[in-house]
Structure 1
Amino acid sequence: MHGVLPTPSQRRARPPLGLAFRFALREMRGGLRGFYVFIACIALGVAAISGVASVSRALVEGIAAEGTSILGGDLSARLIHRTAEPDELAWLESLGDLSRVATLRGMARAPDSGEQTLVELKAVDGAYPLYGELRLAGGGDLAGALAPRDGVHGIVVEPELLVRLGLERGDMITLGRASLRIADTLAAEPDRLSDGINFGPRMIASDAALEETGLVQPGSLVRWLYRVRLPAGTSSAAVEALAEEANRRFPLAGWRVQSRAEAAPGLQRNITRLAQFLTLVGLTALVVGGVGVANAVRSYLDAKRPVIATFRCLGADGDFVFRVYLIQILCLAGLGIAAGLVLGALIPFVAAGFIAAVLPIKAIASVYPAELGLGVLYGGLTALAFALWPLGRAHDVPPSLLFRDDASATRAWPRKRYLAATAAAVLVLAGLAVALSGDLRISLTYVGATAVVFVLLTLIARGIMAGARRLPHPRGAELRLALANIHRPGALTPSVVLSLGLGLSLLVALALIDGNLRRELGTTVTANAPSFFFLDVQQSEREAFDALLAREAPGATIDGAPMLRGRIAAVNGVPSEEVAVPEGGRWVLNGDRGVTYAGERPASAELTEGTWWAPDHDGTPLVSFEAGAGAGLGLKIGDTITVNVLGREITAEIANFRRVEWESLAINFVMVFSPNTFAGAPHTHLRTLAYADGGGEARELALLKTLSQAFPTVTAVRVKDAIQQVNSLVEQLAVAIRAAASITLIASVLVLGGALAAGHRHRVYDAVILKTLGATRGRLIASFSLEYAILGLVTAVFAVIAGALAASFVLVEIMNAGFAFLPVTAFGAALAALVLTVGFGLMGTWQVLGRKPAPVLRNL
């Protein structure tokens, strides 16, 4: 039996699997010709998936490794508006070394030039930092830099602040009511990541300097952070237990207690979400590559028909043929997976440098077996899902048809067992995508949409073929030949439409998401947004401040509201940590929220349900809740919300829901309470100013200068500067999206190349015969170009529609943003990718046209 097929008398005894292995490996000695696209498609998808997962793991590991430095301690308690009470402070001090930090925003001014800018102020005590190292550009220590000289407190700032105000080290700067000296510039700040998004350069001062500025007033938006360094060797479990004890011991404190294990939970959530999104994009690239796998297998089996015929004539049954070529396909898929794993393992090391330039954290680049294993699973299942069908069809090809080089009578559908195996592989692949996504709704939508797109593209391909078959014969030979190639037996139409349709749909979707985000920030938001936000307007200064605004900006629209900060402590009496809500609604319960009160219904408040309270309402506290946030929490009229404001818990009943246009950047709150809710509570006021004609930079800067001199403790946020900061974040996100799009584009190019390779032999025969009959290379290339143009244009129209629907779902349902169809963006992305892919396809066709007729004609 060594290397010999079973004789007819032995057919009932199934040949051993080892024999199939030997035949498969011997036949592979001829090389990998025809499978380069197969291997490249698998490698590309595996590299994308394992690389994204590894980078995400490297970032999470980096955050965990530097948790104490990022958080500033083993344990951190954050309070809004108020400092810790004596009993709270005493308990924290009993745990270990304690450091207090205050963070707020203020307006820094250059005394001589009058230039000013918004700064992120951090006031620290002598114990800061408990962990990590704060480095100064001058090489000194922080305590020495902040120490007063000649009665003037020192500060350290980011170099950006010096550039903005045209200052140098040693110059004076004004903050609030204090004059401070710039002692040095920051080189590294260990806990910067825990502060979230900053809208201005950092400034670090001492507690004494903060007190001198006068920025801390009753109701001022100040965050007080109490960091604790626990005794060495304290376990993570013990730290978590202390965090729970802090909330249990002081249930009304209203503080947010974090352990070193959750130093940057918001960043970790965003990293996870981005990784999930990019994994789905990588999976799409792998599915697009799966079409290339099917093309490669079909082309390979087409070339192997003489070998298969020999097997069958020597007594091999269909099962043996199937096993031989399945082994070969699995071996080749293994090569692709191995190549993808190498690339995926290298991606974290390459990405670490780029990440360091964007995030103040060091990603721990390493080889992560679990994340690489994810790529193996996806790659192997994709190879099986797309290879089993053509392999199953080869099972029942009669030897007589193979010898006649005619496959017209081949079964269109493989046997039921191969159909079942294909379906099982597809279901497992879909189940894996759903199980590992983290968001059931998004993953189910993705799997369902992919299935629908596959079916629609198949129907479109059949429709194109039927339409080309029924069209009247045109006079032009090139167009007539192009239409014939579209509907001929064994045409490339289904493969080309599938590969191009999937890739172009994703590219259009990503382009529209990117374009809509930029449009929202660059046009819609900018056009509707006010020019300024003014924070921390004290009650005693409110009337004078409003009068100054009216005098200095005549005709401008001025709006305002009382401003407090609070945290939702309970929903219907259930603590917020225990409330079961979908991930999309969890943001309302995370961290603190801005709250306000109003007697009359605000002009911009559009009620969707319920009624507004009377202006003189004096009964049970009532609250108006934003409709989208309320739906995310599953709230209804009559439910109760408990908020903790200034260490006091207040329970209010939901009276109505209202619609809020967040993109307007006007004064909007998730919760608006009845006035009696916060009677007597200290608070400040928020003001906005919008010029009717847009203002202009000169008028805005002049207003800033006047206001900062008259009201030095009021913080002015110029909306254009804030939008610029957000735009920079969107730009960084767009880089990842474009990288994902490029992977899909490469996969589409590879698959199209594979589709052309699958029909290479037939193209050679056609070209040789037509050239023998007098056709020129120019007329043939024109015919092929028309064929690809027809297929490509029809597919591009579908891709624009499908991509627009996908982008609309992502923006509206996931990002809670608006969607507008951008025809230039959508059709531009589709046509650019189409020209690129079809151009590469025609390059392969050009080689076909260069074949000499004689050798081919002798073998016909």
Structure 2
Amino acid sequence: MSDGSRSFRLAVRFALREMRGGLSGFLIFITCIALGVAAIGGVNSVARAITYGVESQGKELLGGDIRFQLIHRETDERERAFLDGLGTVAESANMRSMARLADGSDQTLVEVKAVDGLYPLYGELVTEPSIPLDELLAERDGAQGAAAADILFDRLGLSVGDRIRLGNADIELRARIVTEPDAISDGFGLAPRLLVSLDGLRASGLIQPGSLVEHAYKVRLPEGSTEATLQQIRDRASAELPEAGWSIRGRTNAAPSLSSNVERFSQFLTLVGLTALVVGGVGVANAVRAYLDGKRGVIATFKSLGASGRFVFIVYLVQILAIAAIGILAGLVLGAMMPPAAGALLSSVLPVPTAGGIYPGALALAAVFGVLVTLAFALLPLGRARDVPATALFREMGFDAHGMPRPVYLLGTLAIAVALAGLAVWTATDRRIAIIFVGAAIFAFLVLRMVGVAVQWLAKRSPRVRSTALRLAIGNIHRPGALTPSVVLSLGLGLTLLVTLALIDGNLRRQIAGNLPEQAPNFFFVDIQSGEADAFAELVAAEAPDGKLIRVPMLRGRVMELNGIDVREIQVPPEGAWVLRGDRGITYARNVPENSTLTAGQWWDADYEGEPLVSFAAQEAGELGLKLGDTVTVNVLGRNITARIANFREVQWESLGINFVMVFSPNTFAGAPHSWLATLSDEQATPADEARLLNAVTRTFPSVTSVRVKDALEIVNSIVAQLAVAIRAAAAVALIASVLVLSGALAAGNRARVHDAVVLKTLGATRRTLIQAFSLEYTIIGLATAIFALLAGGIAAWFVIARIMSLPSAFLPEVAVSTVVIALVLTVGFGLVGTWRVLGHKAAPVLRNL
């Protein structure tokens, strides 16, 4: 065995033997690591539980092994024959419409789902009372049968057995929907579900040329079909029916929007958890430094007996890693417990089963983050201890006076920090956001160091003041071994994150509850038939004479190709992928639409008759890499239409007015059947006026779908509120880590405070003077930290709101006030708690050791 190997084994034995004394002083170390690891491991485990739950029950959630969806139209003979050749086909149709009471006195928006007798191919429709599907939806006594969600009964004050009107049909509500197996594959709904038969929907008269109806064909394949089988079917569909324009989804991708949103949200919470772990890393550094400072005599003894610096380094590195392992293990246990807990909490808001069990990949990632953070913050204090000679250790109080450690430790720390940042970016879904987040965290860390130094510099050069307490406070801020850098760094990161999230949440709520309703129209009207458009406008003018009605033609199309390349083969950034995913609303116009400004190119003449042209939203075009003259192929009503980009528009999406990514020249869709979309804006309208107008439109034009914008915003606001709970919980983890680090830093400084307090009391200082001095010290440090957090958090929130979300951003005074209050309560509160204990020490034992 070599000398190096024997030395290493001996160092490990000494490390383990010395740890028999317990973990005194490392509780904050362990807690910080456990919190960060639990946050990262738990969030990723919950995300994977949801993802695996979707994948494991993909057939039930999708309603088939594979699903084909068309917009506006049903399949033709060739398309239906193709589907029938695959297996058993269940057909359904989805659309929004208005359901009204039989006497026409009230109405509400509903999500209509019409199904055939094969529904559902997989899973089970559960209703209360339980009725076979053929009886539940059959026509009886002149009324079509239906089942509805509880909220529809509540909104209209109905009971099972009551009747409503849907279009021109009488509908009898025969049951309440308890479980709809494939609800999630139909996407997010703004209204309660109304389940009817296909015959019932046809009887309503709502299906008209150009109506916004989604026709879904769910196929049950023969036993033994694999993912390869699904891909072969997709390829066959593209080759044999290239202009069908249908959206094809397999059982392994039953809810793509949900999966994508879960990934993005989990990424965000993972980065917040990583911030908490980095904040905890400051606590790790403080704990290691304090621990090694208390081991001065032991280290000096080792070196006096001939131990090398490498031996000392290994002894205490092993101890630090062993202690970190305890924290990581505790965090992994907490993280593993989160999926079942989250499943119980999310069951009422997320109709997806969460798969139970432990997710090793998510937990392993959290453990790696924990190890890297521990090493990144422990190497420098360990490096200082390695190189301090025995004479200095016997003579001096600590390690910090001996400057920086050897370059190898600096480079090692830098390499680990780079690995930590690289791992965060590499494991992220949206790497651009991850890079921005990591860069902001590093910048905040460095700037906080500078803020601490600046506060000390200003304190050192401040003019002499007459107040004894204030003079002592200023001296404590800049004296050697002051708490200023540790307090600013530990509390600053947590407060910055809290300010950022609070401002983002506040701005979103402000937009949804205040600014958007003020800018947005009162109503959206969908599925206005061409033959009824003028009569509809006359009715609205009579009911709302002061209102402004805007009408545009409305079709739905699916982007198939960009510059002749299939969109499935194009790699686009996540922020622009939504344009190519699913069907998009499209229109045509002779003039530049309202809420739009031409930024490049020329608009076509009003009587233009040349090749099809399209105006594209400028931001989305940039995200897709499009330029003037490029071509876009869309499938509309089963036909592929290629148009050339003539110009770009800046679109004011935040207005919630009528806006489209693509606006085509009028000749593009000449003769194509379509409906109209309209908005009504009336600033003077009262809720009673809106209710009267809604009732008049629903009674006169039963096929027109009316969406009250305020109702839709209330639903969005409730979703934002639910997301905010998770965001605040993640921010709370970071703040708790900051508080722990803060308390640890203050506790570590108490030993020096004992000496100061005893000497000052001996020289005549009163307890009141000392308390005032310490209070002023902590107040100044807390205010400096709060000011930085407000500036840094305000900039970060502005970037997210204005640059990423493209919404107006405002600084909220209540956030500023609460931040300052939190900073002062934490610094002054924890500081005085520790100081009170310091002031209680007897003078004699301390003076004997001076």
Category of TM-score, reference length = shorter chain: over 0.9
The match for 1:131 is 122
1:649 is displaced (CA, Å) by 0.7
The match for 2:492 is 501
Distance 1:718 1:97 in 2: 40
Distance 1:248 1:516 in 2: 48
| TM-score, reference length from structure 2 | 0.98
The match for 1:620 is 611
1:819 is displaced (CA, Å) by 2.1
Q: For the structure 1 residues 365 and 310, does the alpha-carbon distance in structure 2 shift closer, same or farther, using more than 3 Å as the test?
A: same
What is the CA deviation profile of residues 423-478 of structure 1, one whole-angstrom value per residue up to 9, with x for unaligned ones? 11111111111111122222222222222222211111111111111112222121
The match for 1:751 is 741
Aligned match for 2:523, one of 511, 514, 532: 532
Matched, 1:244 2:244: no
The match for 1:858 is 848
Aligned match for 1:235, one of 218, 222, 226: 226
Matched, 1:846 2:827: no
The match for 1:301 is 292
The match for 2:707 is 717
1:830 is displaced (CA, Å) by 4.8
1:774 is displaced (CA, Å) by 3.5
Distance 1:580 1:408 in 2: 53
Contact 2:54-2:255 within 8 A present in 1 as well: yes
Contact 1:34-1:757 within 8 A present in 2 as well: no
Contact 1:594-1:669 within 8 A present in 2 as well: yes
Question: Following superposition of structure 1 onto structure 2, how do residues 344-743 of structure 1 map, counting pairs within 5 Å?
Answer: 344-407=335-398, 410-693=401-684, 695-743=685-733
Distance 1:459 1:674 in 2: 58
What is the CA deviation profile of residues 632-686 of structure 1, one whole-angstrom value per residue up to 9, with x for unaligned ones? 1111111111110001111111111111111111111111110000000000001
SS in 2 for 1:345: helix
1:481 is displaced (CA, Å) by 1.2
What is the CA deviation profile of residues 758-811 of structure 1, one whole-angstrom value per residue up to 9, with x for unaligned ones? 212111211222233343333322222211111111111111111112112222
SS in 2 for 1:357: coil
Contact 1:622-1:652 within 8 A present in 2 as well: yes
Q: Which moved more, 1:773-782 or 1:701-710?
A: 773-782
Contact 1:557-1:692 within 8 A present in 2 as well: no
Amino acid of the structure 2 residue aligned with 1:547: E
Percent identity between matched residues is 56
The match for 1:7 is none
The match for 2:806 is 816
Matched, 1:121 2:112: yes
Matched, 1:102 2:100: no
Q: Which moved more, 1:409-418 or 1:66-75?
A: 409-418
Q: For the structure 1 residues 827 and 245, does the alpha-carbon distance in structure 2 shift closer, same or farther, using more than 3 Å as the test?
A: farther
Q: For the structure 1 residues 519 and 301, does the alpha-carbon distance in structure 2 shift closer, same or farther, using more than 3 Å as the test?
A: same
Contact 1:69-1:190 within 8 A present in 2 as well: yes
Amino acid of the structure 2 residue aligned with 1:277: F
SS in 2 for 1:390: helix
Contact 2:111-2:191 within 8 A present in 1 as well: yes
Distance 1:528 1:509 in 2: 26
Distance 2:399 2:587 in 1: 76
Q: For the structure 1 residues 650 and 848, does the alpha-carbon distance in structure 2 shift closer, same or farther, using more than 3 Å as the test?
A: same
The match for 1:194 is 185
Contact 1:169-1:184 within 8 A present in 2 as well: yes
Matched, 1:772 2:762: yes
Contact 1:37-1:292 within 8 A present in 2 as well: yes
Contact 1:511-1:829 within 8 A present in 2 as well: no
1:854 is displaced (CA, Å) by 2.7
Distance 1:90 1:637 in 2: 41
Question: Following superposition of structure 1 onto structure 2, how do residues 313-352 of structure 1 map, counting pairs within 5 Å?
Answer: 313-352=304-343
Distance 2:804 2:24 in 1: 44
Contact 1:308-1:321 within 8 A present in 2 as well: yes
Amino acid of the structure 1 residue aligned with 2:794: A
Matched, 1:43 2:34: yes
Q: For the structure 1 residues 531 and 26, does the alpha-carbon distance in structure 2 shift closer, same or farther, using more than 3 Å as the test?
A: same
The match for 2:263 is 272
Distance 2:52 2:547 in 1: 50
Distance 1:849 1:547 in 2: 83
Amino acid of the structure 1 residue aligned with 2:830: F
Distance 2:179 2:99 in 1: 21
Distance 1:845 1:103 in 2: 67
The match for 2:772 is 782
Question: Following superposition of structure 1 onto structure 2, how do residues 58-97 of structure 1 map, counting pairs within 5 Å?
Answer: 58-97=49-88
SS in 2 for 1:535: strand
Amino acid of the structure 1 residue aligned with 2:849: N
1:841 is displaced (CA, Å) by 4.0
Contact 2:782-2:827 within 8 A present in 1 as well: no
What is the CA deviation profile of residues 35-87 of structure 1, one whole-angstrom value per residue up to 9, with x for unaligned ones? 11111111110000011110000000011011111111001000000000111
Distance 1:135 1:393 in 2: 68
Amino acid of the structure 2 residue aligned with 1:596: T
1:827 is displaced (CA, Å) by 4.1
What is the CA deviation profile of residues 735-756 of structure 1, one whole-angstrom value per residue up to 9, with x for unaligned ones? 1110111001100001101111
The match for 2:281 is 290
The match for 1:24 is 15
SS in 1 for 2:814: helix
Q: For the structure 1 residues 777 and 249, does the alpha-carbon distance in structure 2 shift closer, same or farther, using more than 3 Å as the test?
A: farther
Distance 1:854 1:634 in 2: 77
Contact 2:7-2:311 within 8 A present in 1 as well: no
Contact 1:76-1:257 within 8 A present in 2 as well: yes
Give ranges in structure 2 of 5+ residues lacking alignment. none
Contact 1:75-1:243 within 8 A present in 2 as well: no
1:838 is displaced (CA, Å) by 4.3
Give ranges in structure 1 of 5+ residues lacking alignment. 2-9
1:15 is displaced (CA, Å) by 5.7
Contact 2:599-2:649 within 8 A present in 1 as well: yes
Distance 2:729 2:498 in 1: 11
Amino acid of the structure 2 residue aligned with 1:456: V
What is the CA deviation profile of residues 294-322 of structure 1, one whole-angstrom value per residue up to 9, with x for unaligned ones? 01111111111111111121111222111
Q: Which moved more, 1:142-151 or 1:101-110?
A: 142-151
Distance 2:421 2:400 in 1: 33
The match for 1:793 is 783
1:839 is displaced (CA, Å) by 2.2
Contact 1:243-1:259 within 8 A present in 2 as well: no
Distance 1:282 1:36 in 2: 20
The match for 2:792 is 802
Distance 1:836 1:753 in 2: 9
1:225 is displaced (CA, Å) by 0.2
Distance 2:433 2:712 in 1: 30
Q: For the structure 1 residues 837 and 371, does the alpha-carbon distance in structure 2 shift closer, same or farther, using more than 3 Å as the test?
A: farther
Contact 1:253-1:647 within 8 A present in 2 as well: yes
